[in-house]
Amino acid sequence: MRESWPRARIFSLFLLMTPDELQHLRHSLAHLLAAAVLDLWPDAKRAIGPAIDDGFYYDFEFSTPISEDDFPKIESKMREILPTWTAFARSEVSADEARNEFVGNPYKLELIDEFSGEGKNLTLYRSGTYVDLCKGGHTDSLTNVDPESFKLTKLAGAYWRGSEKNKQLTRIYAAAFETKSELVDYLAMLEEAKKRDHRKLGKELELYTVIDEIGGGLPLFYPRGAVLRRLVENFIITQQEKRGYVPIWIPHITKGKLYEISGHLQKYNAMYPPMHLEDEADYYLKPMNCPHFMMLYKTQPHSYRELPMRWTCTTTNYRYEKSGELSGLTRVRALTQDDCHVFTRPDQIESEINLMLDMIDETYRAFTFTDFWVRISTHDPANKEKYIGDPKIWAESEAALARLIEKRGWTHKVGVGEAAFYGPKLDFMAKDVLGREWQLSTIQLDMNLPQRFELEYVAEDGTKQRPVVIHRAILGSVERFLGILIEHFAGAFPLWLAPVQVRLSTVSEDHLPFARKLHEELVHAGIRAEIDDSNEKVGKKIRNAAMMKIPWTIVVGAKEVEGGDFKVNVFGSEEDLVIPQKDLIATVKEKSAL
C-alpha cells in the first residue's frame, strides 16, 4: 500500500521525469521483467527487451507456452524483486566473456557475434543477481519506483529479428509510467481503444474485410465502406479543385527503367519482385507515384507562364510489408494516396506551400483533428550516403521548409534523419479523440528528382531552368486515414460523413409504399438513405439502427403516412428531433453542412 512506502519513495512521485528518464525507467523495467520470468521459468531463453512508447516488451523462447493468466504471478515476482535493485552496474567484457555468460542462449550469442564482429564494445549490466547484454540507458535505481506504476498488458508472437524464417518467440508487452495514476488513465484509454478498434468496427459496421484467399494487407470494402471511402476521397478532390489542382491518371505497373532513373531501384526495399515478361523488360508494381508524374511532365515543353502546375492523382501503390506487421487498414500492402505534385518556380514555393497548409487546416477541422503539430524532417548528416542529390540543394530545401512553417506560426519540431532519401519534408502529427498521435499529411520540397529526370521550363529570359517539385498528400494513405477515422469517431460518423445518413424503419408492410416513395425523394436529393422493411418489431429495428450507428432513424407508421411530423431518433442523443415532413430534406442538408 502507498502509505507504507518510505518517505523518499513518496517524494519521488512528485518529480516529473524527462522523456529520456522515462524511457530509461521503462528499459530498466524490461530487465526486471526478464529477471522475474527467469525466476519462474529457469529454462526460458531471453532475446531482446527495449523500451517503447508507453512501456516496454521482452521476447522469450519458452519450452512450454505461457498465457496471460500467468501475468499476475510474473507481476508479483517483479514487485518482489523491485526493491532489491539498487543499481545497474555496467561492465565491459570481451566476446568470450560475454559468450560464457549466455551459454545455451542462441539469441544473445548471435548478438554477441554480430556486435563483436562490427567492433562494438560489449557491455553487461547487473542488478541483484540478474545480468543482461545491454548497451545501457537505465534509471539509477528501482528502489524509488512506484510498484503499481507498471502492468503487463498482452502477449504476442514475434519472429526473432522480424524474419519469418526465424523462430517465433513470445513477446510480453507492458505499460509503464512514473505514477500509478498515469497508468490507470492509460489503461482506461486502452479499454476505450478496444471498443473503437477499427478492425472490430470494420466487421460490425460492414465497412471492410480482409480475405485470406486474396491476401493479408489487401482490404476489400463493402458498400458502406466504399461509400465512406468515396466521401473522404471526394472531400479532398473538392478541396483541391477549388484551389486550382487538376487530375492526371497513371498506370499501376511500369518498367524497371523508370525506377533506375529515379533512384528507387537502388535505394527502395519495399518493392515487389519484378514481373518477367518474355522478350520484354522487367515490369514492377508501382510502390510510389513520383516518377510517373516526372515523366508525364517531361513529355511536353513548358513555359514559366504555365507554372505552377498542380497535378493530382488518387491512386493505389503496392509495397511489401511483412505479414506480422500488417494491421487492418493502418498497415496494408495496397495503399491509396491522395497524391499531388506541384511543379513550380523557386519564387512560387512559399505561396504554394501556404496553399497546401490552408487545405490541411481546413481538412483537419472538417474531420475534427484540431490538435496537431508539424515535424520538419531533415537528413542525417552522419549518414549522407543514404540520400541522393546535391548537398547544397538539401541545405536550401531544409532551410526553406523551416522558414515557411515558422512563418505560419504552427508548433513544430525538427526530426533529424527522418527525411525521405530524395528530399526534406513536413510531417503533420495529429491527435485523435483518445489523445493518440498519428502521422497524417506530408509536404515534401524536392529539388533532386527534377534534376534526375532533367525536367525543364523556359524562363522569362528564354533560358531553360529546373522547376522545383513539391510533393503533397493530405490524407497520407486513404486506408490508414480511414482506420484512424473509424477509431476517432468510434464508427459513429457525423451526419455529413455517415455512409447511411437516414434509415426508414417501417411499422408494417402497409407502410412500405410510403417509405419507398420517401426513400426515393431522399436519394434524389442526394441524401444517403435506406429502408428497414424486415419483420422485426419497431423497437428491435431502432436498436439495430443504433448497433449500426445510423445517425438518423425515422419510424414510418400510420401517423407518418397520414402526413404527421417525422420523429427522428438521433444516434447518441436522448432527445428525438421532430421535423415537419416538408422540411425533412432541407433539415438533413442543413445538418450535414460543414
- The crossing angle, in degrees rounded to 10, of helices 19-40 and 71-81 is 110
Q: What is the pLDDT of residue 405?
A: 83
Q: What is the pLDDT of residue 6?
A: 37
Q: Which among 379, 425, 480, 541 is annotated as catalytic?
A: 425
CATH homologous superfamily of 208-485 equals Bira Bifunctional Protein; Domain 2 (3.30.930.10)
β-strands 122-127, 529-532 pairing: unpaired
CA distance 59 to 48: 6
Domain with CATH 3.30.980.10 in the chain: 2-196
**451 a catalytic residue:** no
C-beta separation of 287 from 250 below 8 A: no
Q: What is the pLDDT of residue 68?
A: 96
C-beta separation of 507 from 564 below 8 A: no
Domain with CATH 3.40.50.800 in the chain: 502-592
**471 a catalytic residue:** yes
- pLDDT, one tens digit for every residue, the chain (594 residues): 333 333 333 334 445 788 899 999 999 999 999 999 999 999 999 999 999 989 999 999 999 999 999 999 999 999 999 999 999 999 999 999 999 999 999 999 999 999 999 989 899 999 999 999 999 999 988 988 999 999 999 999 999 998 888 999 999 999 999 999 999 999 999 899 899 999 999 999 999 999 999 999 999 999 999 999 999 999 999 999 999 999 999 999 999 999 888 887 877 777 788 888 888 888 999 999 999 999 999 999 999 999 999 999 999 999 998 887 889 999 999 999 999 999 999 889 888 988 999 999 999 999 999 899 999 989 998 888 888 777 877 888 788 888 888 888 889 999 899 887 778 889 999 988 888 889 999 998 888 889 899 999 999 999 999 998 999 999 999 999 999 999 999 999 999 999 999 999 999 999 999 999 999 999 999 999 999 999 999 999 999 999 999 999 999 999 999 999 999 999 999 899 999 999 999 999 999 998
Query: For residue 243, is it left (φ>0), alpha (ψ between -120 and 50) or beta?
Result: alpha
C-beta separation of 271 from 431 below 8 A: no
The closest of 224, 202, 182, 185 to 489, measured between CA atoms, is: 202
Q: Which among 45, 59, 77, 290 is annotated as catalytic?
A: 290
Sign of CA dihedral 237, 473, 247, 499: negative
**337 a catalytic residue:** yes
Q: Which among 412, 471, 511, 541 is annotated as catalytic?
A: 471
Q: What is the pLDDT of residue 12?
A: 41
Q: Does domain 2-196 have CATH number 3.40.718.10?
A: no
What is the assigned CATH class of domain 502-592?
A: alpha beta
Burial (Cβ within 10 Å: 0-12, 13-18, ≥19) of residue 504:
buried
CA distance 523 to 530: 9
**340 a catalytic residue:** no
Q: Which among 54, 338, 339, 532 is annotated as catalytic?
A: 339
Q: Which among 77, 292, 319, 511 is annotated as catalytic?
A: 319
Domain with CATH 3.30.930.10 in the chain: 208-485
Q: Which among 151, 171, 196, 341 is annotated as catalytic?
A: 341
Q: Which long-range contacts (CB under 8 A, 24 or more apart) does 100-104 make?
A: 101/131, 101/133, 102/133, 104/45
CA distance 281 to 407: 48
Running DSSP on this structure, what letter comes out for residue 583? G
**pTM value > 0.85:** no
**319 a catalytic residue:** yes
